[in-house]
Structure 1
């Protein structure tokens, strides 16, 4: 993460308190230092750079830094910049997460484009109520998941061309826990991990927390280039890889079948443990995508991760791992050590819902596809200079802005009641700060207002660029 990308994430909600701007900014830095998110002697951004990022005047940043220095939080020296004081009160070090978190006291009129959360309609709420009628019959531990649910998921993988026994399925508390289990099982501090760039921020955070060295493979229009993946694997000898071949998060790219076959064969040859993120593969809006990567090499060390969160509802915290037989002992142990089993009611509800998976898929398409088309049409009408490809599935637009200050724009847009996620935070290495990830999961009725605010914020942002800021 570049310095400014890190501070963009660190200061996401710095305006949410009250008082003069310089005191709000100073307070946000104090909180970050005290919480351990900024290390002793760590350098803060230069005054002009931070002012540009946050759409502030340089004098406001100078006043905030002076306030920090007066309180003993930082040291300032001409020529060497501003650094966190070694004597500043602090807790143990904590990562600055890329994963955006909803503020508990967010304004009621704020529109949030940071996390894609499927909305439940009245039909789905009724489905949940009916599925819950028999969801409380057990009071036992199932560390690896309710047996009937494991069998049902195995059946679905087999139908999709990947023969799977129930014993190869491990139920988790969402896809994020599944990724964390893989990291804990296969990584030690200093190990290399190969990821797409850009990629899912939750995976980046998990692997950073494990102390891994993150190696990025740039995503193209049809996914990860095979030759670059091979070259980086042979050069860095990674202990784990993370891939989303189908409706890649955030670009929406789909890897062709031929590339999947060759990539799966290479993974099998190298015996490289690989996570295949399947969480979006059910969300297609046209012809079905190619078979899963793992189907081309069933004995390769490829672990599939699935979830109900994107298909049905984020509040139903049920995910799973489809595990090759050779990897079962290690991952079964990892799951049992993590907990004695997920929520039994949630698993029984999931089991009932999966009895008609085609209907679930179709219902989700009916919700998401019109929202995708509406958002794309509104952006083309009101922000024609923003560039994007309409994806064939998934739930995001990967939008390129005509600027290298997209992170700064996200802070500016907060003044208009918009929460945005800078694409640079989803990148590894030198991803240009020109992208936004815009999910099309907001209620369709909110999208016209959301784009109106985007357009107003963007045109104001452009006007302010190159001018003296008076904030």
Structure 2
């Protein structure tokens, strides 16, 4: 028989931490099986994780071994655990829940599309485009620039240097968006059968990039303070991945942000293990409250720490310009490897990006205030219309990560479309399902659209729960400005 697919082992004490406060009146085994099931669905106990032995977990939780045995048996019968003699017990999902939802598509008349976290083009785009057109004749030779436009590489290198990460233009590779950079670095480090560590939940298309390379994504939970550092370290020891992909700033979808100590610890982990760790900084400039995060790459001397960025969130997603910051050897190697599919990013787009980035640090003027307004409007609407949902207000980024309290995210997303709202359910942000109790809600739309979206969500939630929906409260019209 084939071996069970275990990516790593979790200890009894770590399992107890993941479960949190799980005891309740009634049989202990029922409360424990419920808590373990929720942890698997939420991703705090990642899939393909070898669970602690019954005796070890009983000691960690302070319960009898019989309680553990009964809880494990319940979850085996439901498909949340798989066991085989001599192979241990592995977290899983019931077969019917393993399919990862695909994005529903775009637009639709009367539909508020919250499946995409992106802002509209800024007014500054026109002036930047006209200035770039004036400069285009000076770049009208062959136009093939696999490393990128020298002026743009210099501007981006200077931005890193100003943030405390000394950088030369040779350390910058211009790509056709951040997704292109993610794909390039993944393909250069991992192939069929290799493992790449990602957060759970994480950016949808990062998972796609890992799978497109033939590699296997291995999830590590991320919470309000960012990725679980202890589990990340143990996963690197046990799995020996070829690459780690993280979103350190205002993480998509949770909105969490790693503090300076966590960043330093991860950089040291990269140095100690020799593992390349990629930090996706596309959301870094979207600081809505408090200080800006520290530069992901620190002093820039660690060759195993790679940074990815783009203008898609800070300026405009339709301008397909991104970049990768890393050792000059890596940027040169990737510039050569990209030739099989792409001979360089469009020169005019790079000139427009140069104009926009040269105008000043951070996001385009007005972007942060618009996002802050959208965030506050959406939070107020949800607390008014759907108070049973739990959320943490992020201090940056573009979206809320909502706890629905029940594993119904996919069902709610299906119902919401009939009420005029397009969503990506929680499982779309995980590896092989899970996260059914979570929902990402971007606040990039106009306040009036957010109001319509929450009205539709409230109707869908009422239909799902079998309860009458409350009419919109009159005072809410004041926020739709």
Same fold flag (TM > 0.5): yes
Q: Report the equivalent of 1:256.
A: 259
Shift of 1:99: 6.0
Task: Determine the structure 2 residue equivalent to 1:110.
Answer: 111
Instruction: Please tell me whether the aligned partners of residues 294 and 300 of structure 1 are also in contact (alpha carbons under 8 angstroms).
Output: no
- Provide structure 1 residue ranges, at least 5 long, that are not aligned to the other structure: 1-80, 83-95, 466-471
Q: Could you say which residue in structure 2 is the equivalent of 1:176?
A: 179
Instruction: Provide the residue aligned with 2:81 in structure 1.
Output: none
* Alignment counterpart, residue 266 of structure 1, candidates 258, 265, 269: 269
Matched residue, 2:136:
136
Instruction: Supply the distance in 1 between the matched residues of 2:452 and 2:287 (Cα, whole angstroms).
Output: 27
CA separation in 2, counterparts of 1:235 and 1:291? Answer: 29
Q: CA deviation at 1:430?
A: 6.5
Q: In 2 relative to 1, CA 393–99 (structure 1 residues): closer, same or farther, beyond 3 Å?
A: farther
Distance of aligned partners of 1:428 and 1:199 in 2 relative to their CA distance in 1, 3 Å threshold: same
Distance change (3 Å), C-alpha of 1:170 and 1:220: same
Output the aligned Cα RMSD: 2.1
Indicate conservation of the 8 Å contact 1:111/1:417, yes or no. Answer: yes
> Normalising by the residue count of structure 1, what TM-score does the alignment of the two structures yield?
0.74
What secondary structure sits across from 2:367 in the alignment?
A: helix
Report if the CA contact (8 A) 1:98-1:201 is conserved. no
Query: Which whole-Å deviations, capped at 9, do the CAs of 1:267-288 have from their partners, x for residues lacking one?
Result: 0121111211000010001222
SS in structure 2 at match of 1:219: strand
Residue 164 (structure 1) aligns with: 167
Check conservation: 2:159, 2:361, Cα contact below 8 A.
no
> How big is each residue's C-alpha offset from its partner over 1:405-429, in whole Å with a ceiling of 9 and x where there is no partner?
1111111111112111111221136
Counterpart-to-counterpart distance in 2, 1:360 and 1:401: 32
Structure 1 residue 97 displacement after superposition: 7.7
CA contact (8 A) 2:147 2:331 kept: no
> Does structure 1 conserve the Cα–Cα contact (< 8 Å) formed by 2:288 and 2:369?
no
Q: Equivalents in 2 of 1:180, 1:129: separation in Å?
A: 28
TM alignment of 1:231-380, pairs within 5 A: 231-295=234-298, 298-358=301-361, 360-380=363-383
Tell me: CA distance 1:283–1:399, structure 2 relative to 1, closer, same or farther (3 Å): same
CA offset digits 1:172-200 (Å, max 9, x no partner): 11000000101111111000111110000
Secondary structure of 1:410's aligned partner:
helix
Instruction: Give the superposition deviation at 1:101.
Output: 6.0
- The aligned residue for residue 47 of structure 1 is none
Aligned partner of 1:213 among 190, 193, 216: 216
Is the Cα–Cα contact under 8 Å of residues 307 and 325 in structure 2 kept in the other structure? yes
The separation in 2 between residues aligned to 1:217 and 1:305, in whole angstroms, is 20
Equivalent residue, structure 1, for 2:124? 124
CA change 1:360–1:248 in 2 (3 A) is closer
TM-score of the pair, normalised by structure 2:
0.73
Partner of 2:410: 407
Distance 1:169 1:317, change over 3 A: same
* Secondary structure in structure 1 of the residue aligned to 2:406: coil
The answer to whether the 8 Å contact 1:261/1:296 transfers is: no
Q: How many residues align?
A: 369
Contact 1:250 1:398 in 2 (8 A): yes
Structure 2 residues without counterparts, runs of 5 or longer: 1-94, 469-481
